[in-house]
Homo-oligomer: A and B are copies of this chain.
Amino acid sequence: MFESYTIKDIAKALGLSTSTVSRALNGSYEIGAETKRLVLEYAEKVNYRPNPIALSLKEQKSHSIGVVVCEVANDYFSQAINGIESIAYNRGYHVIITQTHESFDRESANVQHLLSRHVDGLLVSLSAETTDTTPYKYLHEKGFPIVFFDRVATDVNTHKVIANNFKGSFEATELLIKAGFKKIAHLTNSINLLISRERFDGFKAALDKYGLDFNPGYLKHCNHGGMIQDEVEFAIKELLDMDERPDAIFIGSDRLTINSMHILKKLDIKVPDDIAIAGFTNSDVAELFDPPLTVVRQPAFQIGQIATELLIKTIESKWPVEDFITEQVEIELIARSSSQRIR
């Protein structure tokens, strides 16, 4: 069962040469129908499976793709990875997952490691710390397939898959405004990330539309993306301690949203009575929270799928790919009571 037959075994058993067997197995024209039948039948009988490692060596392809994300214990990324796996599996690729924990050094090490593993391509979501994307640029220019998703590198012209962050933020902020909140803070990820900037823009645009001033003190960045709990707690306390305390917070990242809820609970701040909350998260249990949480939800599974399709298409392209697209998917705003005004 696991001691597999090789092409050689089949050749020996049938008194043929390995090349004949190989050709028969691959349905080559030049093989006699009878021989072909014989080989196919025998292969079927002994449950022959080509050795993927030998194939890889021959083809100079590992049939694996490397994934770089900040962490897997994050609903957004675990769902995205699910999507990645679902496509990769069907296309005969396996995926090697690495985590940066939001560190640039770990990200570099992971890319190095994946390259030394001879992955055929890379699916990357940048760490919160990353500012220097020249390694990706270099690889990409050399023709190495890379697809970015979610946290993309602006200056590398390759395929990218992102959510409509602007719209997601705009609508969530608008929801808070319509609920009657006027002093809305924005807690978000590192300024390094394009998603943070896009989400801020959406937030700001909603304020503008409704004629609300933007108070710079209401903008808090967590440069470690919520990996350091104290950083988040500090930012939240700063908001709470302001003379003009915000009456709502719109949160721009999955981990930050969840962390914030833990912190608010710890500080015994009531949501939405003391402060209303809406935030990006892909948690499936946000409706079970106390209070049920208003969320901006991304189609993470689908994003993973699209990114993987694009990557495999690039890998398997006969010609150097020149046209790169940026696929934008829609987000979903789910209103629940954490963003409702208490009267």
Specify which chain B residues have a CB less than 8 angstroms from the CB of A79 in the assembled complex. 73
Digitize A279-297: 1 where CB-to-B-CB distance is under 8 Å, 0 elsewhere. Answer: 0000111011111100000
Interchain Cβ contacts under 8 Å between A and B, 22 examples: A1-B115, A1-B138, A1-B139, A2-B144, A3-B142, A4-B115, A4-B116, A49-B115, A49-B116, A51-B57, A52-B116, A52-B117, A53-B53, A53-B56, A64-B94, A72-B78, A72-B82, A73-B79, A85-B97, A85-B99, A258-B284, A265-B287
Specify which chain B residues have a CB less than 8 angstroms from the CB of A89 in the assembled complex. 98
B53, B73, B144, B285: which contacts A78 (Cβ < 8 A)?
Answer: B73
Digitize A85-120: 1 where CB-to-B-CB distance is under 8 Å, 0 elsewhere. Answer: 100010000101111000000000000000111100
Judged by a CB distance under 8 angstroms, whether A54 is at the interface is yes
Specify which chain B residues have a CB less than 8 angstroms from the CB of A177 in the assembled complex. none
Judged by a CB distance under 8 angstroms, whether A270 is at the interface is no
* Chain A interface bracket (under 10, 10 to 19, 20 to 34, 35 or more): 35 or more
Nearest-CB residue, chain B, relative to A265: B288
Q: How far is the CB of A30 from chain B (nearest CB, A)?
A: 27
B3, B72, B289: which contacts A290 (Cβ < 8 A)?
Answer: B289
* A residues 260-315 in Cβ contact with B at 8 Å: 261-262, 265, 283-285, 287-292
Specify which chain B residues have a CB less than 8 angstroms from the CB of A72 in the assembled complex. 78, 81-82, 85
Specify which chain B residues have a CB less than 8 angstroms from the CB of A94 in the assembled complex. 64, 94, 96, 117
B2, B99, B115, B265: which contacts A139 (Cβ < 8 A)?
Answer: B2
Nearest-CB residue, chain B, relative to A290: B290
Q: How far is the CA of A328 from the CA of B276 in the complex (A)?
A: 44
Nearest-CB residue, chain B, relative to A49: B116
* A residues 1-45 in Cβ contact with B at 8 Å: 1-4
Judged by a CB distance under 8 angstroms, whether A253 is at the interface is no
Q: How far is the CA of A52 from the CA of B291 in the complex (A)?
A: 51
Judged by a CB distance under 8 angstroms, whether A169 is at the interface is no
Q: How far is the CB of A115 from chain B (nearest CB, A)?
A: 5
Q: How far is the CA of A43 from the CA of B137 in the complex (A)?
A: 25
Specify which chain B residues have a CB less than 8 angstroms from the CB of A78 in the assembled complex. 72-73, 78
Judged by a CB distance under 8 angstroms, whether A189 is at the interface is no
* A residues 59-78 in Cβ contact with B at 8 Å: 62, 64, 72-73, 78
Nearest-CB residue, chain B, relative to A52: B117
Q: How far is the CB of A108 from chain B (nearest CB, A)?
A: 12
Specify which chain B residues have a CB less than 8 angstroms from the CB of A135 in the assembled complex. 1
Specify which chain B residues have a CB less than 8 angstroms from the CB of A289 in the assembled complex. 285, 288-290
B117, B283, B288: which contacts A261 (Cβ < 8 A)?
Answer: B288
Q: How far is the CB of A10 from chain B (nearest CB, A)?
A: 16
What are the 3 tightest A-B residue pairs by CB atom distance, in nearest-first order? Answer: A290-B290, A49-B116, A53-B56
Specify which chain B residues have a CB less than 8 angstroms from the CB of A138 in the assembled complex. 1
Digitize A128-172: 1 where CB-to-B-CB distance is under 8 Å, 0 elsewhere. Answer: 000000010011001010000000000000000000000000000
Asked whether, in the complex, the Cβ of B4 is within 8 Å of the Cβ of A52, the reply is: no
Asked whether, in the complex, the Cβ of A4 is within 8 Å of the Cβ of B118, the reply is: yes
> Chain B CB within 10 Å — which of A1, A2, A283 has the most?
A2
Q: How far is the CB of A176 from chain B (nearest CB, A)?
A: 20
